[in-house]
């Protein structure tokens, strides 16, 4: 069906990298060099507003286009960047590239918000919040144009500092989302304290939802929990129409997954926006 026919060549890469090999490679061909030589690239995956079936956000997902190794997925180098002290540089590159893309779409009259993934380290690093806040001013982006997706580990590592930094970002017009919700170890007491606006339910609870009653119970109660705490909810990992409809019926606000679209390089994403049967918001500047 759709999910299967959407399997294009973009996701093809040589699988199975021995972490040590990759670590050596990463250190030799340092991130700085990878950035200078334009070896990092962002793919974009839509988030759909279920009430209106409108494409409301695009999540930026980094890949390393290695000259010999091909397209390396983030799971194989983000943790190495973390271990080798290169996360600050990586996230700054991703942020800048995503902001540039926001402006490009804006100039084309496409109204879409962008979500950026940031790691625990960035939140606990004093300088990233000022970097992203200054960039937002420089680019004159509206409040809530950018969502920052943060995983729970940032909160668990240092709840006080994380809360402080997240409040600072929120007060400067960023929308904050807890990514992979349900897989981390934050307590409800911690969640209650967090100045976030959105929970993103981990795909492990969503992918098999049709045939798993426990997943249905978990997702349903997470949606209710979020709404009771005045948070919006995103479900990731929607791979079939049944799940999309089920989530819509259960008042989940946003949906993301291969059934809607796989992550695509920016040019293909723009093309997808032209052809999709979902709604796309546009502004016509020529009127």
Residue 61 contact partner, candidates Mg ion, ligand C2E, none, CB within 5 to 8 A by sort of partner? ligand C2E
Round to whole Å and give the CA distance between 133 and 183.
Answer: 29
Q: Which of 102, 81, 70, 67 is nearest to 32 (CA)?
A: 81
- Which of residues 56 and 256 has its CB atom nearest to ligand C2E in the complex? 256
- Which of residues 109 and 245 has its CB atom nearest to ligand C2E in the complex? 245
- Which of residues 179 and 215 has its CB atom nearest to Mg ion in the complex? 179
Q: Which residues does residue 71 pair with via DSSP β-bridges, in sequence order?
A: 65
Stretch that binds Mg ion, among 1-9, 63-71, 232-240, 244-252 (CB under 5 A): 232-240
- Which of residues 30 and 153 has its CB atom nearest to Mg ion in the complex? 153
- Which of residues 21 and 144 has its CB atom nearest to Mg ion in the complex? 144
Round to whole Å and give the CA distance between 262 and 12.
Answer: 12
Round to whole Å and give the CA distance between 246 and 243.
Answer: 5
Is residue 62 a contact point for ligand C2E (CB under 6 A)?
Answer: yes
Sign of CA dihedral 99, 100, 101, 106: positive
Q: Which of 104, 101, 41, 46 is nearest to 67 (CA)?
A: 41
Round to whole Å and give the CA distance between 44 and 58.
Answer: 6
Is residue 45 a contact point for Mg ion (CB under 5 A)?
Answer: no
Is residue 76 a contact point for ligand C2E (CB under 6 A)?
Answer: no
- Which of residues 101 and 207 has its CB atom nearest to ligand C2E in the complex? 207
Neighbours of 40 (CB within 10 A): 20
Residue 239 contact partner, candidates Mg ion, ligand C2E, none, CB within 5 to 8 A by sort of partner? ligand C2E
100 φ, ψ (degrees, to nearest 5): -60, -40
Residue 129 contact partner, candidates ligand C2E, Mg ion, none, CB within 5 to 8 A by sort of partner? none
- The single-letter DSSP state of residue 197 is S
Among 91, 95, 117, 232, binds Mg ion (CB under 5 A): 117
Place of tokens 């200054």: 134
- Which of residues 186 and 207 has its CB atom nearest to ligand C2E in the complex? 207
Tally of residues, the chain: 287
Stretch that binds ligand C2E, among 47-55, 190-198, 250-258, 269-277 (CB under 6 A): 250-258
Among 180, 198, 239, 240, binds Mg ion (CB under 5 A): 180
Site for ligand C2E in 143-182 (CB under 6 A): 149, 179-180
Among 128, 174, 205, 258, binds ligand C2E (CB under 6 A): 258
Element of type H or E holding 89: helix 87-107
Stretch that binds ligand C2E, among 159-167, 183-191, 211-219, 257-265 (CB under 6 A): 257-265
Q: Please report how close the Cβ of residue 246 comes to ligand C2E at its closest, in angstroms.
A: 14
Each residue 123-152 as x (binds Mg ion by CB under 5 A) or -, in order, gives --------------------------x---
The pair of structure tokens assigned to 82 is 């973390």
CB-CB contact of 228 with 221 (8 Å): no
Q: In whole angstroms, how large is the CA radius of gyration of the chain? A: 19
DSSP H helical segments within 172-212, as ranges?
A: 188-193
Interface contacts to Mg ion, rule CB under 5 A: 117, 149, 179-180, 236
């Amino acid at each position: 069906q759709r999910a299967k026919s959407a399997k294009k060549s973009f996701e093809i890469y040589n699988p199975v990298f021995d972490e040590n090999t990759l670590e050596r490679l990463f250190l030799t061909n340092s991130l700085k060099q990878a950035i200078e030589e334009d070896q990092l690239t962002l793919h974009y995956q839509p988030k759909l507003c279920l009430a209106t079936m409108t494409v409301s956000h695009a999540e930026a997902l980094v890949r390393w286009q290695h000259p010999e190794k091909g397209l390396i997925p983030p799971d194989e180098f983000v943790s190495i960047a973390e271990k080798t002290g290169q996360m600050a540089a990586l996230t700054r590159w991703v942020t800048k590239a995503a902001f540039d893309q926001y402006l490009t779409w804006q100039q084309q009259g496409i109204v879409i918000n962008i979500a950026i993934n940031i790691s625990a380290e960035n939140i606990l690093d004093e300088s990233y919040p000022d970097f992203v806040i200054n960039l937002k001013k420089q680019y004159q982006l509206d409040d809530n144009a950018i969502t920052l997706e943060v995983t729970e580990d940032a909160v668990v590592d240092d709840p006080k500092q994380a809360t402080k930094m997240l409040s600072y970002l929120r007060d400067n017009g960023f929308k904050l989302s807890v990514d992979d919700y349900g897989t981390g170890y934050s307590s409800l007491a911690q969640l209650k304290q967090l100045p976030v606006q959105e929970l993103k339910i981990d795909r492990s609870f969503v992918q098999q939802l049709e045939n798993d009653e426990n997943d249905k119970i978990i997702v349903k109660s997470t949606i209710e929990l979020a709404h009771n705490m005045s948070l919006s909810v995103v479900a990731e990992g929607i791979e079939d129409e049944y799940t999309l409809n089920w989530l819509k019926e259960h008042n989940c606000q946003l949906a993301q997954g291969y059934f809607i679209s796989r992550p695509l390089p920016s040019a293909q994403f723009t093309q997808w926006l032209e052809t999709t049967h979902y709604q796309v918001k546009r502004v016509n500047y020529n009127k």
